[in-house]
């Protein structure tokens, strides 16, 4: 029953692209379809097939749904790199969004939302408006998600067009899947907005809880996750909510179960009745245990979450420690997490069993796991005073096996036990001393020396033992040295031999003794180590990455709620062109600026990766104005977490790209550690406006008349606004657009201005606008009218 | 945020991209390079399924010879993401007819792209039921109930099915013979200490169902579990019938089961999907009937010889029998020569897994079998670290036996047309991780 698509991958001939082009334009449907499949196959393996854009888009108008979907997939991938051509697809999209077939309507809206090109987005609004009110629930549920997509591209547009209200209405839709997707979209929008958009009232809460019963499994996750933010008014309401959520614990989908657990834990905070709480704890245990029979990756997520849950509510799994015993074939990451939880659940009641398990693990093959098991025994000893003796005897048994790393790890934890319970277990020192020769790790050696030093007066041959360490002194790492010196101050017999180290520490042995022996931090049980407010935050993020990393979301999500709230200096923030998610941690923001009559490329490098980045180089592709770097890029080596701001002088007319003028500036940046990063910037014409662009009135009139009327172009700039004539003149003058004359016509102000563009091209400008009303009409007369579109772009930016 | 993915990649073991789909704009198209460089080509592979590199997090799973990698840059729902991958793979398998591997992906890449577009939107999982998706995503070679019609024409009410309240069953099904097959499949997990005491023991069971039923039937399933029976007798106000009852520790249900009703009335009622599906899973830890007892003795005689003695007793009913019994007894790596004596079956030494493998095809109930083996080791000069003695592992299947004691009491089918149904029930118990330390 299997397909045979693999044949589409096997075209590696030289003339592939022209050949595909021909096939795409074939009149035979099948050939066309096969060609599109080949294009998609080539795209998948990473070949650049963007040059076929027009040809592929031409295949879009088809009755064949499969072919249509493939073309759409192509568009999603390449529209961004061909924004000007993407407009070709708009018509078909708009037409498809009114197709009688709901699958096609939904497909059109879904795909348009994935294409982040302004021109497409502009045309998305009307179809989206229609689809949100479509008769077919399938179209509505797709449109609901599309609102979230649009919000991500252009939040203002969503708010202006009232999509948020329509979306909120969908919460009351009669179809559960529409409700679920609307909730997901609203929750996401709320997360990126600081304004209250999606507030859950007790009314919506109850409606959504009812919808829960009919939703698909994923819909249940969306709803539960959104509702977990709800704060119940009192204990009674909380109990009510919990009662309606508990049935979800029986769901086969682990995400539903974890989201239900999250919600129940949140509400439990408010519940005062101990009976109810105890009952809930009892109900939550079995589903949590069941998660451990899922795929190992899911087990891992569950275990990381259980780790948090038992810190908050130790009673939930207090009797279930056996289910955390490691299976021989568990993946190592599952074993490590199980071990952590076993330590947390260990109590006087079950410690014997737990110790038997740890002892078993200490004989396994994986060294890291074995070490962790040994350390676990020590941690139990520190946690449970009454069990400490048994722990020590297990450790001694392990030392007798004489496996090198087990012995060393055991000695390290025994030192901790000695520090926790001083003068209690020194009878075992003799046994420890027997394995002195096998120690070769600094931490183990340091621990042993500490023990000997601490109990020197009870060890007859302490000096001999220490002497054996002293022989290798010069090679010892700092940790051992320090501890040895501690010992010396305590042991007069060796004082003469250690005078060098005294000098290291202090000239006064008594002072050294005070200093060194005083610094003994209290060893305590570290198994419940998370701060309680952090723990609460993590618990409110159950099932998410935050609960797996045990870090609050801000610690690893770079795109925070208010990204602009970073006033590092008084300059306006530069637009981010390479986000750190794309640049493997390197973020680059940049913009062309004009300073003192020269064009600069202002760049901000941010290193959010874990490594040092250096050796930065920059290269610009051919562009309309032939912009290129005037010198090499000089960025200091960037430590992780640091930033650097650079002003790169630019020269023009170096490598001019032929063709109609456009604003595209393609930039490549490279460093020694990472691959080459490519990003696109937009050239704004106003950086070229020169300081000598001022024209006298007469000169202006003369030039105006000398140019033919065909050289005059005008355009409405809908986003531009003039708040006051004088302010506008001043503002534009700062950008080298100079005032010539003004007049009034009815309620409109007319401004005449001049500017001088690249290679001295003059621009004669007429602005028509009503004060403080958005929308400015801009007419320009120039010897180079082909630059007019770029000029309007620049004016719109200046007047925003 | 319940977003599960910003991008999803399917890679082969060399790291070549087989399929990629970007759902959101917050991760770059080249993130897969980071995955290759920082995970695939390092020792990190397999140490942790969730990793952060730069500003992005990666979740990955290996399924046969394919890595499925999900990339996100927000605080995504990891549980949702992994579950999505698991279900998506099940969906692909049901489309390809079984296998999911590199070849199957390459051969169906158009279909996979189409499905990926349908089952996730902007990183939010949508309907993943194969039953429903096959209504309108049809590819050559995929058998569809509508395949006789031209596939160009979509099923008229497909969209209503996708979003319907019964999103897993389509209307208007007709079968000549209405049949239901129930398979109760249990895996026993055991961890026994070398002294014969049970350290951990549980049964995870699932009820698999195959439905060939017309119309929109309502089904109700009755088991011999204690809580369900108590509730039933309470509702009907008559005393509980005597007989063996069992206590289920936990149950989880397919999304077709009405959970609210289960919670209040303790009855399992549902409108089933058509064809095969997993109705429920359960877990039991109390009162497990272990089908086999294993009594091993392994003696190390000096440094070059081992004496292995394993006795296996079957403790299920004398009329039943187990199939495919395999006992794997680990031996040290430096094993040179082995000799065996067995009372039934065959034993041999398998050097690639360092085990003595003893196979018995058919093992009747209430009997016992023994294997004794002598193992000679190559003597090594270096002071070796002592042998770690991994546990003995066992595989088996016992038909018509449930380790939990679970029984199906009834399965009622209501449909408005009032047809009769034939119900078939089978039981089988398999070894899960059945380990005996020695």
For residue A462, what pLDDT is reported?
A: 67
Nearest CA in chain B to A305: B79
Most confident region among A634-643, A759-768, B172-181 by mean pLDDT = B172-181
User: Cβ B199–A322 below 8 Å, yes or no?
Assistant: yes
For residue B138, what are its two tokens?
């049809």
For A88-92, A245-249, B135-139, which range has the lowest pLDDT when averaged over its residues? B135-139
CATH number of A687-798: 3.30.310.10
DSSP state, residue A609: S
Residues B28 and B82 placed together within one structural domain of the fold: yes
Residues B195 and B326 placed together within one structural domain of the fold: no
Domain boundary among B92, B109, B128: B128
Q: Is the pLDDT of residue A784 over 90?
A: no
Residues B300 and B253 placed together within one structural domain of the fold: no
How large is the average pLDDT for residues A535-545? 93
**pLDDT by residue (tens digit) across A423-480?**
788 788 888 888 887 888 888 888 888 887 777 767 767 667 766 666 554 444 444 5
Find residue A589's DSSP bridge partners.
A576, A604
Locate the DSSP E strands across B159-284: 179-192, 198-212, 218-223, 250-253, 268-270, 275-284
User: Cβ B250–A113 below 8 Å, yes or no?
Assistant: no
A173, A178, A190, A581: which to substitute to probe chain B, counting the most B Cβ within 10 Å?
A: A581
Residues in chain B closer than 8 A to A252 (CB atoms): 252-255, 278, 280-281
**Structural domains in chain B (count):** 3
pLDDT band at A503, cuts 50/70/90? very low
Closest CA to A771 of A708, A713, A721: A721
For residue A749, what pLDDT is reported?
A: 83
For residue A584, what are its two tokens?
């493997």
What is the distance between the alpha carbons of residues A590 and A502, in angstroms, rounded to a whole number?
56
User: Cβ A73–B113 below 8 Å, yes or no?
Assistant: yes
Any CB–CB contact under 8 A between B1 and chain A? yes
Contact A578, A344 (CB under 8 A): no
Residues in chain B closer than 8 A to A136 (CB atoms): 159-160
CATH number of A5-247: 1.25.10.10
Residues B418 and B283 placed together within one structural domain of the fold: yes
Residue of higher predicted confidence among A520 and A631? A631
B45, B50, B79, B393: which to substitute to probe chain A, counting the most A Cβ within 10 Å?
A: B79
Residues in chain A closer than 8 A to B22 (CB atoms): 76-77
Q: Is the pLDDT of residue A516 over 60?
A: no
Nearest 5°: CA angle at A110, between A104 and A114? 140
DSSP H or E segment with residue B124: strand B124-125
- Tokens 């949590």 belong to which residue? A288
DSSP H or E segment with residue A302: helix A296-312
What is the distance between the alpha carbons of residues B278 and B284, in angstroms, rounded to a whole number?
18
H helices of B71-177, in order, are 78-96, 102-107, 109-119, 130-136, 158-163
What is the distance between the alpha carbons of residues B319 and B332, in angstroms, rounded to a whole number?
38
Any CB–CB contact under 8 A between B83 and chain A? yes
Widest Cα–Cα separation across chain B: 81
**Nearest residue, CB atoms, A548 vs list B78, B125, B280:** B78
Residues in chain A closer than 8 A to B329 (CB atoms): none
Residue of higher predicted confidence among A792 and B81? B81
Domain boundary among B91, B107, B128: B128
CATH code at B76?
A: 3.30.450.60
- What's the full length of chain A, in residues? 800
A45, A66, A576, A680: which to substitute to probe chain B, counting the most B Cβ within 10 Å?
A: A66
Give φ, ψ of B389 to 5 degrees. Answer: 50, 70
Residues B339 and B198 placed together within one structural domain of the fold: no
Decide: helix, strand or coil at residue A709.
helix
Find residue A588's DSSP bridge partners.
A578, A605
**pLDDT by residue (tens digit) across A172-202?**
998 889 999 999 999 999 988 888 888 888 8
DSSP state, residue B387: P
For residue B320, what pLDDT is reported?
A: 93
Residues in chain A closer than 8 A to B52 (CB atoms): 549, 556
CATH code at B394?
A: 2.60.40.1170
Please check whether residue B155 lies inside any domain of the structure: no
DSSP H or E segment with residue A57: helix A53-58
Q: How many CB pairs under 8 A join A and B?
A: 327
* Helices A102-114 and A137-153, axial angle in degrees (round to 10): 10
User: Cβ A145–B124 below 8 Å, yes or no?
Assistant: yes
Residues in chain B closer than 8 A to A177 (CB atoms): 126-127, 162-163, 167
pLDDT band at A519, cuts 50/70/90? very low
For residue A797, what pLDDT is reported?
A: 82
Residues B114 and B201 placed together within one structural domain of the fold: no
User: Cβ B49–A333 below 8 Å, yes or no?
Assistant: yes
Please check whether residue B54 lies inside any domain of the structure: yes
Range of the domain at B380: 292-399
**pLDDT by residue (tens digit) across A147-179?**
999 999 999 999 999 999 999 999 999 888 999
Residues in chain B closer than 8 A to A401 (CB atoms): 385-386
Residue numbers of B between 262 and 321 with CB closer than 8 Å to A: 262-263, 278, 280-281, 283
**pLDDT by residue (tens digit) across A391-414?**
999 999 999 888 888 999 999 999
Q: Please report the ipTM that was assigned to this predicted complex.
A: 0.83
For residue A377, what pLDDT is reported?
A: 94
Question: How far does CA A269 lie from the centroid of its chain?
Answer: 30
Decide: helix, strand or coil at residue B268.
strand
For residue A508, what pLDDT is reported?
A: 45
User: Cβ B50–A300 below 8 Å, yes or no?
Assistant: yes
For residue A497, what pLDDT is reported?
A: 43
DSSP H or E segment with residue A35: helix A29-44
Say what the alpha-carbon torsion angle B71, B75, B80, B86 is, to the nearest 10 degrees.
20
Q: How many CB atoms lie within 10 A of CB A200?
A: 19
Residues B233 and B212 placed together within one structural domain of the fold: yes
For A95-109, A220-234, A559-573, B256-270, which range has the lowest pLDDT when averaged over its residues? A559-573
B52, B77, B228: which to substitute to probe chain A, counting the most A Cβ within 10 Å?
A: B77
pLDDT band at A388, cuts 50/70/90? very high
The boundaries of every CATH 2.60.40.1150 domain in chain A are 576-683
Q: Is the pLDDT of residue A14 over 70?
A: no
Please check whether residue B133 lies inside any domain of the structure: no
Burial class (CB in 10 A: 0-12, 13-18, 19+), B260: middle
Concatenated DSSP letters for A226-293? HHTT---SSHHHHHHHHHHHGGGGGBS-HHHHHHHHHHHHHHHTT---HHHHHHHHHHHHHHHHHGGG
The boundaries of every CATH 1.25.10.10 domain in chain A are 5-247
Residue numbers of B between 169 and 208 with CB closer than 8 Å to A: 189, 191, 193, 199-200, 202, 204
**pLDDT by residue (tens digit) across A664-677?**
888 888 888 888 88
Q: Please give the span between the terminal C-alpha atoms of chain A, in angstroms, as a whole number.
A: 59
The boundaries of every CATH 3.30.310.10 domain in chain A are 687-798
Please check whether residue B142 lies inside any domain of the structure: no
**pLDDT by residue (tens digit) across A33-49?**
889 999 998 888 888 88
Q: Is the pLDDT of residue A415 over 60?
A: yes
**Nearest residue, CB atoms, A557 vs list B49, B73, B96:** B73
Give the residues of chain B that fall short of pLDDT 50. 140-154
User: Cβ A5–B109 below 8 Å, yes or no?
Assistant: yes
Residues B356 and B416 placed together within one structural domain of the fold: no
Residues B241 and B98 placed together within one structural domain of the fold: no
Closest CA to A174 of A136, A127, A226, A123: A136
Nearest CA in chain B to A675: B33
- What's the full length of chain B, in residues? 438
User: Cβ B74–A295 below 8 Å, yes or no?
Assistant: no
H, E, C per residue of A89-122: HHHHHHHHCCCCCHHHHHHHHHHHHHCCCHHHHH
Concatenated DSSP letters for A568-606? SSSSPPPPEEE-TTTTTTEEEEEEEEEETTEEEEEEEEE
Residue of higher predicted confidence among A140 and A647? A140
What is the distance between the alpha carbons of residues A186 and A301, in angstroms, rounded to a whole number?
26
A675-684 core/surface letters (b: 16 or more CB in 10 A; e: else): eebebebebb
pLDDT band at A105, cuts 50/70/90? very high
Burial class (CB in 10 A: 0-12, 13-18, 19+), A774: middle
Please check whether residue B393 lies inside any domain of the structure: yes
What is the distance between the alpha carbons of residues A38 and A19, in angstroms, rounded to a whole number?
11
Residues B120 and B46 placed together within one structural domain of the fold: yes
Residues B244 and B314 placed together within one structural domain of the fold: no
Please check whether residue B149 lies inside any domain of the structure: no
Find residue A592's DSSP bridge partners.
A601
What is the distance between the alpha carbons of residues B110 and A72, in angstroms, rounded to a whole number?
13
Please check whether residue B152 lies inside any domain of the structure: no
Residues B282 and B407 placed together within one structural domain of the fold: yes
User: Cβ A295–B17 below 8 Å, yes or no?
Assistant: no
Integer angstrom CA distances of residue A631 from A541, A595, A634: 49, 17, 9
Find residue A752's DSSP bridge partners.
A741, A766
CATH number of A576-683: 2.60.40.1150
């Amino acid at each position: 029953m299997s397909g045979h698509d693999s044949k589409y991958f096997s075209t590696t001939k030289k003339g592939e692209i022209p050949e595909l082009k021909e096939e795409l334009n074939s009149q035979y449907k099948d050939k066309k379809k096969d060609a599109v499949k080949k294009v998609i196959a080539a795209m998948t393996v990473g070949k650049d097939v963007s040059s076929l854009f027009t040809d592929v888009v031409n295949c879009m108008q088809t009755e064949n749904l499969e072919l249509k979907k493939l073309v759409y997939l192509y568009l999603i991938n390449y529209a961004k790199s061909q924004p000007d051509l993407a407009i070709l697809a708009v018509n078909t999209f708009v037409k498809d969004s009114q197709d009688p077939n709901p699958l096609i309507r939904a497909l059109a809206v879904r795909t348009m939302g994935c294409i982040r090109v302004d021109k497409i987005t502009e045309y998305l609004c009307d179809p989206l408006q229609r689809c949100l009110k479509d008769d077919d629930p399938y179209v509505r549920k797709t449109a609901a998600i599309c609102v979230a997509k649009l919000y991500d591209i252009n939040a203002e547009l969503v708010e202006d067009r009232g999509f948020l209200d329509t979306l909120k209405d969908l919460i009351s839709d009669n179809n559960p899947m529409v409700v679920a997707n609307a909730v997901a979209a609203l929750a996401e929008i709320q997360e990126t907005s600081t304004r209250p958009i999606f507030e859950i009232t007790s009314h919506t809460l109850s409606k959504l809880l009812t919808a829960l019963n009919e939703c698909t499994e994923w819909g249940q996750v969306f709803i539960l996750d959104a509702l977990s933010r709800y704060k119940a008014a009192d204990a009674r309401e909380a109990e009510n909510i919990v009662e309606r959520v508990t049935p979800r614990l029986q769901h086969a989908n682990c995400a539903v179960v974890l989201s239900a657990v999250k919600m129940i834990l949140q509400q439990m905070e408010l519940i005062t009745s101990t009976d109810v709480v105890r009952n809930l704890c009892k109900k939550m245990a079995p589903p949590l245990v069941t998660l451990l029979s899922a795929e190992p990756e899911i087990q891992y997520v569950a275990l990381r979450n259980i780790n948090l849950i038992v810190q908050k509510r130790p009673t939930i799994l207090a009797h279930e420690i056996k289910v955390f015993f490691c299976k021989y074939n568990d993946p190592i990451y599952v074993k490590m997490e199980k071990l952590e939880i076993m330590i947390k659940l260990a109590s006087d009641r079950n410690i014997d069993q737990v110790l038997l398990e740890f002892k078993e693990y200490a004989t396994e093959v994986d060294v890291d796991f074995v070490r962790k098991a040994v350390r676990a025994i020590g941690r139990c000893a520190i946690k449970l005073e009454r069990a400490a003796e048994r722990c020590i005897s297990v450790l001694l048994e392990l030392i007798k096996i004489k496996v090198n790393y087990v012995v060393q790890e055991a000695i390290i934890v025994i030192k901790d036990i000695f520090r926790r319970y001083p003068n209690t277990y020194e009878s075992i020192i003799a046994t420890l001393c027997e394995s002195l020769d096998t120690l070769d790790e600094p931490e183990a050696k340091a621990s042993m020396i500490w023990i000997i030093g601490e109990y020197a007066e009870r060890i007859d041959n302490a000096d001999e033992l220490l002497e054996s360490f002293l022989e290798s002194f010069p090679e010892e790492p700092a940790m051992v040295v320090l501890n040895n010196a501690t010992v010396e101050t305590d042991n007069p017999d060796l004082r003469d031999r250690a005078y060098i180290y005294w000098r290291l520490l202090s000239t006064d042995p008594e002072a050294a003794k005070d200093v060194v022996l005083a610094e003994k931090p209290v060893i305590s049980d570290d198994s419940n180590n998370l701060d309680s407010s952090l723990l609460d935050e993590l618990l409110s993020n159950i099932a998410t990455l935050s609960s797996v990393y045990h870090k609050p979301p801000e610690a690893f999500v770079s795109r925070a709620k208010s990204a602009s709230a970073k006033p590092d200096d008084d300059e306006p923030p530069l637009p981010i062109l390479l986000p750190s998610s794309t640049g493997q941690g390197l973020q680059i923001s940049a913009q062309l600026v004009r300073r003192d009559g020269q064009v600069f490329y202002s760049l901000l490098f941010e290193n959010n990766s874990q490594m040092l980045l250096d050796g930065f180089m920059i290269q610009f592709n051919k562009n309309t104005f032939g912009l290129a770097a005037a010198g090499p890029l000089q960025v200091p080596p960037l430590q992780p977490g640091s930033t650097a701001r650079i002003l790169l002088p630019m020269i023009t007319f170096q490598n001019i790209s032929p063709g109609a003028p456009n604003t595209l500036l393609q930039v490549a940046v490279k460093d020694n550690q990472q691959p080459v990063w490519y990003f696109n910037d937009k050239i704004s014409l106003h950086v070229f406006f020169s300081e000598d662009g001022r024209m006298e009135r007469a000169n202006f009139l003369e030039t105006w008349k000398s140019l033919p009327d065909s050289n005059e172009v005008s355009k409405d700039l809908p986003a531009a606004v003039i708040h006051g004539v004088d302010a506008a003149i001043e503002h534009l003058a700062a950008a080298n657009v100079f005032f010539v004359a003004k007049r009034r016509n009815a309620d409109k102000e007319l401004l005449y201005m001049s500017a001088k563009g690249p290679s001295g091209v003059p621009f004669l400008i007429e602005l028509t606008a009503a004060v403080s009303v958005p929308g400015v009409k801009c007419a320009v007369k120039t010897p180079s009218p082909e630059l007019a579109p770029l000029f309007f772009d620049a004016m719109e930016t200046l007047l925003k | 945020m319940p977003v599960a993915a910003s991008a999803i990649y399917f890679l082969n073991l060399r790291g070549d991209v087989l399929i990629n789909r970007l759902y959101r704009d917050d991760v770059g198209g080249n993130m897969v390079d980071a995955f290759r460089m920082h995970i695939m080509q390092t020792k990190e592979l397999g140490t942790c399924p969730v990793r952060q590199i730069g500003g992005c997090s990666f979740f990955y799973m290996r399924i046969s010879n394919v890595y499925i990698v999900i990339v996100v840059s927000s605080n995504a729902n990891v549980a949702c993401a992994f579950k999505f991958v698991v279900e998506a793979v099940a969906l692909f398998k049901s489309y390809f007819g079984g296998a999911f591997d590199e070849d199957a992906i390459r051969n169906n890449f158009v279909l996979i792209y189409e499905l990926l577009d349908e089952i996730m939107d902007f990183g939010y999982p949508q309907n993943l039921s194969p039953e429903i998706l096959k209504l309108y995503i049809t590819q050559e070679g995929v058998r569809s109930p509508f395949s006789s019609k031209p596939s160009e024409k979509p099923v008229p009410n497909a969209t209503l099915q996708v979003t319907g309240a019964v999103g897993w069953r389509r209307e208007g099904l007709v079968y000549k013979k209405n049949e239901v097959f129930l398979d109760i499949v249990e895996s026993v997990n055991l961890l026994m200490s070398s002294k014969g005491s049970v350290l951990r023991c549980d049964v995870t069971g699932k009820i698999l169902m195959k439905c060939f039923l017309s119309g929109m039937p309502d089904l109700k399933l009755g088991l011999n579990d204690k809580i369900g029976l108590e509730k039933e007798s309470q509702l009907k106000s008559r005393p509980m019938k005597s007989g063996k009852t069992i206590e289920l520790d936990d149950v989880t249900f397919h999304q077709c089961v009405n959970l609210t009703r289960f919670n209040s009335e303790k009855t399992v009622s549902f409108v089933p999907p058509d064809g095969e599906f997993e109705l429920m899973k359960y877990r039991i830890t109390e009162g497990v009937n272990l089908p086999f007892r294993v009594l091993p003795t392994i003696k190390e005689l000096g440094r070059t010889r081992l004496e292995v003695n394993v006795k296996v007793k079957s403790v299920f009913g004398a009329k039943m029998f187990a199939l495919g019994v395999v006992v794997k007894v680990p031996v040290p790596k430096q094993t040179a020569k082995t000799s065996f004596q067995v009372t039934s079956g065959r034993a041999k030494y398998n050097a690639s897994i360092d085990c003595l493998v003893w196979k018995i095809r058919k093992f009747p109930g209430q009997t016992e079998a023994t294997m004794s083996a002598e193992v000679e080791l190559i003597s090594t000069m270096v002071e070796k670290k002592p042998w770690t003695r991994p546990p003995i592992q066992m595989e088996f299947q016992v038909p018509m036996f449930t380790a939990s004691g679970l029984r199906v009491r009834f399965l009622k089918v209501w449909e408005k047309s009032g047809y009769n149904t034939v119900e078939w029930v089978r039981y089988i118990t398999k070894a899960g991780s059945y380990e005996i330390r020695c």
